[in-house]
Structure 1
Amino acid sequence: MRPHHLFLALATLGITGMSHAAVSPVLVIHGGAGVIKRDMTPAQEQAVRTAMAHALQDGYARLKAGGSALDAVAAAITVLEDDPNFNAGKGAVFTHDGSNELDAAIMDGNTLRAGAVAGVEHVKNPILLARAVMEQSPHVMLSGTGAEAFAKEHGIALVDSSYFRTEARWQQLQKALKEDAAKQPHADVETAKHFGTVGAVALDAQGRLAAGTSTGGMTDKRWGRIGDSPIIGAGTYANSGCAVSGTGWGEFYIRTVAAHQICMKVTQMRVPLKRAAAEVINQEIPSMGGNGGAIALDAQGHISIPFNTDGMYRGWIGADGVPHVALYGDEDDGTAELPAPADSVAQP
């Protein structure tokens, strides 16, 4: 193959590995999609908004200091894993048997390296373990006790399982168990499905993209169920042209390979990011009976945050250094008419 033909072929796939021109860093995060109505107390709502802003600021500080997109993604998700208002890390939902089983994944779009963990019960920050799997092992995904043995060998913090418990999540399980015993369907969507997952996508000053996702899964899950979050291509994916983290009913994200599909539309089919994300999240997944949302970012700094639920915890921060946070479906998150970054090229 002639050299210029090879370059074009690789560019189409978004895996050129070539150096990138300097761009304005961008970080986008989510804290889950679902039935999010204005029935939180003012204190609860403020706590969520504060945590989201903190995650944005912490991750963006890494970008401004010259850190990588991976650094920003890991930093932002760690903040959300440590906050009990989200279904990841502390505050994760309970399984049918009363335990917490945590999943996470991270991916470097520049190299297509990825790391993931599934079903861990004592890892304080699963996103940090996922990154260690990517950077310090020959594997992509580790699970259960093996993943925790790897964590211990590599100095990743382990905690007693009681660390993850919150009373609100425990009562959510008790309600689900009563409905199970009465052979009733779960009465609310928060109990019935997979919401509250956290995630981040970032673009650094070198033009590199990364994506990460972390979750406790779904309340009352059984048999070691694993959703889309730690599955590369389903709930988490990044290449050199696109990065995506999803949140929603994981089985449908797995079946559609949602995150990968969005990025392939962008890098192979040259579909604009917003349209590509909407086609998968707001058309294909609902047509199959699923729901949820996603955050997506391309190499020019364009942002897309589609969701088909009542609301979605979401936020972004860019060149102005100001964190933008929104929770409700009718709330302007600042991205609807967001202009392209000044130093970017027009989308095809």
Structure 2
Amino acid sequence: MSHATTAPVLVIHGGSGVIRRDLDPTREKAVRAALAKALQRGYAELKAGKPALDGVTAAITVLEDDPNFNAGKGAVFTHDGRNELDAAVMDGSTLRAGAVAGVHRVRNPILLARAVLGKSQHVMLVGDGAEAFAREVGVPLVDPSYFFTEARWRQLQRALKEDREGKPHSDPDTARHFGTVGAVARDAQGHLAAGTSTGGMTDKRWGRIGDSPIIGAGTYANADCAVSGTGWGEFYMRTVAAHAICMRVSLMRVPLERAAAEVINQEIPAMGGNGGAIALDAKGNIATPFNTDGMYRGWIGADGVPHVAIYDDEPDAPSDEPADDGRAE
């Protein structure tokens, strides 16, 4: 249902996982600044009356261009030393969606996912075919060397050494890397959208695809709810996590915060997975559940002020719903 005028809301994440308190202060400052910039960029689109999809893609593009996040420029390396990028967007008002997976030359995969939604009859394109489509529709391609960062390369070399020695990965980021970026938005018409972009997992093999580009797993939106996940992708796929949250909201009329907590902090950990998510409902309620050490996250609403958080004891967005964060012990 369309509303005459509604206060826009934008929520973003930059990944969850092992985010220690001793995070380098310079990096922490850069991460917080990037999250704030993404919020401002996306919110400017929404304030200008643009659709929720525009706010989502504008915010995610900022994070894809920042090497501090595992998406776009900061993507991790696969086992064979390549970068394989995935992304998806979904428009809650129409249930149209676009996704790309396993691309190597697309500077901003979220823009290509948006093009799949708007300029093709398909939902998901992969690999060389997705890049051929990018050329046709004018989505910028870059030489694969664009994605090289020294920190990510060193991360891979440590992982490969441990592979050769038959040891488990000692780097928590490599052992369970949840680097993903995402956004959910409500526009001035009350419509919702969601988007997610990722570089995958360090040292991943065999063309593995995670939950981020899979509609319903890591990304989903309908008229009542929008979700972007960040976590151990295999478990988000097995629980169809993003869709499961929205179905609780849409069909069971479960409050958003409880619905998100049930899936992220109960179902997924019960199966052995972990991670987090951002969720937004049509009323503007926000949920940011996670069961890891931290989650890069932020939100911006009617006051136009970016709010950014990293650790689990930082305040999250206020909700009109009864308090129930459901975080795992």
Which category describes the TM-score, using the shorter chain as reference length? over 0.9
Q: Which residue of 2 aligns with 1:62?
A: 45
Q: Which residue of 1 aligns with 2:268?
A: 285
Q: Which residue of 2 aligns with 1:45?
A: 28
Distance 2:18 2:307 in 1: 21
Question: Which structure has the larger Rg?
Answer: 1
1:196 paired residue among 179, 183, 187: 179
- 1:305 matched to 2:293? The reply is no
Distance 2:177 2:101 in 1: 15
- 1:88 matched to 2:71? The reply is yes
TM-score (norm 1): 0.91
Match of 2:21, SS state, is coil
Q: Which residue of 2 aligns with 1:321?
A: 304
Distance 2:83 2:172 in 1: 19
Q: Which residue of 2 aligns with 1:118?
A: 101
The residue type equivalent to 2:208 in the other structure is R
1:131-163, Cα deviation, whole Å (9 max, x unpaired) = 000110010000000000000011000001110
Deviation at 1:194, TM superposition (A): 3.2
- 1:236 matched to 2:219? The reply is yes
The residue type equivalent to 2:271 in the other structure is M
Distance 2:308 2:179 in 1: 16
Match of 2:36, SS state, is helix
Provide the identity percentage: 78
- 1:132 matched to 2:115? The reply is yes
Q: Which runs of 5+ in 2 are unaligned?
A: 322-329
1:22-80, Cα deviation, whole Å (9 max, x unpaired) = 21110000000001112222211110000000000000000110011000000000000
Distance 2:23 2:264 in 1: 26
TM-score (norm 2): 0.96
Match of 1:119, SS state, is strand
Contact 1:194 1:250 in 2 (8 A): no
After superposition, where does 1:182-193 map in structure 2 within 5 Å? 182-193=165-176
Query: RMSD value over aligned CA atoms?
Result: 0.9
Deviation at 1:339, TM superposition (A): 4.2
Deviation at 1:338, TM superposition (A): 3.7
- 1:274 matched to 2:240? The reply is no
The residue type equivalent to 1:129 in the other structure is L
Paired residues in the alignment total: 321
Distance 1:57 1:100 in 2: 28
Distance 2:4 2:161 in 1: 57
Match of 2:72, SS state, is coil
After superposition, where does 1:125-204 map in structure 2 within 5 Å? 125-204=108-187
1:86-130, Cα deviation, whole Å (9 max, x unpaired) = 000001000000000000000000000000000000000000000
| Structure 1 runs, 4 residues or longer, greater than 6 Å off | none
